Structure 1
Amino acid sequence: MTAPSTLPRTARLVAWSRRWPLWTPYAAVSWALLYAAVQITWAATDTTVPLTPNEPYPAWSQVLLACIALLAGAASWASLRATGRKARVATETALLLALPVFAMGMASLPAHFVTLVSFSGIDSGTGLVQVLLSCAGATLLLLVALSHHRRLRGRCPRCGQTHDGPSHGPLVHPGPSTASKRTRRTVYLLMCGVLPWAGAKTSWTLGGDALGLTAEAWRETNQGESEVARALSSVGIDVTVLAAVAGIFLLTGLMYQWGQVFPRWTLVLAGRRVPRLLPLIPARLTAVGLSGYGVVLVIYAPLGAMGILPRLEPTGGFTDSSGLLWMVAFGGLAFGGLGFGLIVAARSYSARTRPVCASGGRLSPESP
Structure 2
Amino acid sequence: MTTIISRAGHAAVAWSAGYTVTGVAWALGAPGFPWGASDPDPDGVLSILAGLSPDPGGWWVAAFGLLCAVTALALATGGRAVQRAAVFAAWPLAAFLAVVIPDSRLMMGVAYTPLMTVAIFLDGPWGQIGLGDVWPWPVLNQLLCVLGGVLLAGAALNAQRRRRDACGSCGRADEDTGWTTPASAARWGRVAVAVAVVTPLIYCATRWAWALNIPLGVSQDFLDQGDKEAPGIWLAGAYLATFGALGGVLTLGLVQRWGEIFPRWIPWLRGRRVPPPLAIVPATLVAIIITVAGLTYLRRALAGAFDVAEWGAWLPECFWPLWGAALAAAALAYHLRRRGRCARCLRGGN
Q: TM-score range by the shorter chain?
A: 0.7 to 0.9
2:220 — aligned with what? 213
Alignment CA distance shift 1:224-1:42 (3 Å) = farther
Question: Is the CA contact (8 Å cut-off) linking 2:9 and 2:75 kept in structure 1?
Answer: yes
**How far did 1:68 drift?**
2.1
User: Cα deviations across residues 267-298 of structure 1 (Å, max 9, x unaligned)?
Assistant: 22212222222222222222234235435646
Match of 1:54 among 43, 49, 69: 43
2:333 — aligned with what? 348
Structure 1, 270-279 or 191-200: larger mean CA deviation: 191-200
Alignment CA distance shift 1:26-1:299 (3 Å) = closer
1:140 maps onto 2:140 in alignment: no
1:263 maps onto 2:263 in alignment: yes
2:92 — aligned with what? 97
Question: Is the CA contact (8 Å cut-off) linking 1:39 and 1:66 kept in structure 2?
Answer: yes
User: Cα deviations across residues 160-213 of structure 1 (Å, max 9, x unaligned)?
Assistant: 2346xxxxxxxxxxxx99974554345334533333322222122123333203
Alignment CA distance shift 1:197-1:78 (3 Å) = closer
**How far did 1:148 drift?**
1.0
Give me the whole-angstrom Cα distance separating, in 2, the residues matched to 1:95 and 1:74. 10
2:119 — aligned with what? none
User: Cα deviations across residues 217-249 of structure 1 (Å, max 9, x unaligned)?
Assistant: 332243386xxxx8xx3xx97221122123212
Question: Is the CA contact (8 Å cut-off) linking 2:261 and 2:270 kept in structure 1?
Answer: yes
Higher helix share: 2
1:39 — aligned with what? 23
Give me the whole-angstrom Cα distance separating, in 2, the residues matched to 1:359 and 1:69. 32
Alignment CA distance shift 1:299-1:183 (3 Å) = farther
**How far did 1:45 drift?**
4.1
1:131 maps onto 2:138 in alignment: no
Alignment CA distance shift 1:326-1:259 (3 Å) = same
Alignment CA distance shift 1:256-1:106 (3 Å) = farther
User: Cα deviations across residues 52-85 of structure 1 (Å, max 9, x unaligned)?
Assistant: 54323503445323322222222222333323x4
Give me the whole-angstrom Cα distance separating, in 1, the residues matched to 2:213 and 2:232. 18
Give me the whole-angstrom Cα distance separating, in 2, the residues matched to 1:273 and 1:181. 22
Question: Is the CA contact (8 Å cut-off) linking 2:107 and 2:290 kept in structure 1?
Answer: yes
Question: Is the CA contact (8 Å cut-off) linking 1:107 and 1:288 kept in structure 2?
Answer: no
For these two proteins, the number of residue pairs brought into alignment is 311
Give me the whole-angstrom Cα distance separating, in 1, the residues matched to 2:202 and 2:292. 19
Matches within 5 A, 1:181-200: 182-200=188-206
Secondary structure of 1:72's aligned partner: helix
Task: Give the AA of the match of 2:318.
Answer: G
1:80 maps onto 2:73 in alignment: no
Give me the whole-angstrom Cα distance separating, in 1, the residues matched to 2:229 and 2:139. 24
**How far did 1:102 drift?**
0.9
Identity value in percent:
24
Secondary structure of 2:168's aligned partner: coil
Q: Which has the larger radius of gyration?
A: 1
1:112 — aligned with what? 109
Give me the whole-angstrom Cα distance separating, in 1, the residues matched to 2:51 and 2:138. 10
Alignment CA distance shift 1:239-1:75 (3 Å) = same
Structure 1, 45-54 or 147-156: larger mean CA deviation: 45-54
Question: Is the CA contact (8 Å cut-off) linking 2:8 and 2:155 kept in structure 1?
Answer: yes
Give me the whole-angstrom Cα distance separating, in 2, the residues matched to 1:125 and 1:237. 21
Question: Is the CA contact (8 Å cut-off) linking 1:250 and 1:279 kept in structure 2?
Answer: no
1:30 maps onto 2:27 in alignment: no
Task: Give the AA of the match of 1:191.
Answer: V
Alignment CA distance shift 1:189-1:81 (3 Å) = closer
User: Cα deviations across residues 280-321 of structure 1 (Å, max 9, x unaligned)?
Assistant: 2222222234235435646865x6xxxxx5463xxxxxxxx3
User: Cα deviations across residues 323-342 of structure 1 (Å, max 9, x unaligned)?
Assistant: 32343112323x34532331
Give me the whole-angstrom Cα distance separating, in 2, the residues matched to 1:337 and 1:90. 29
Question: Is the CA contact (8 Å cut-off) linking 2:170 and 2:342 kept in structure 1?
Answer: yes
Give me the whole-angstrom Cα distance separating, in 2, the residues matched to 1:205 and 1:22. 47
Task: Give the AA of the match of 2:220.
Answer: L
Give me the whole-angstrom Cα distance separating, in 2, the residues matched to 1:48 and 1:29. 22
RMSD of aligned alpha carbons: 3.3
Matches within 5 A, 1:163-174: none
Question: Is the CA contact (8 Å cut-off) linking 1:248 and 1:338 kept in structure 2?
Answer: no
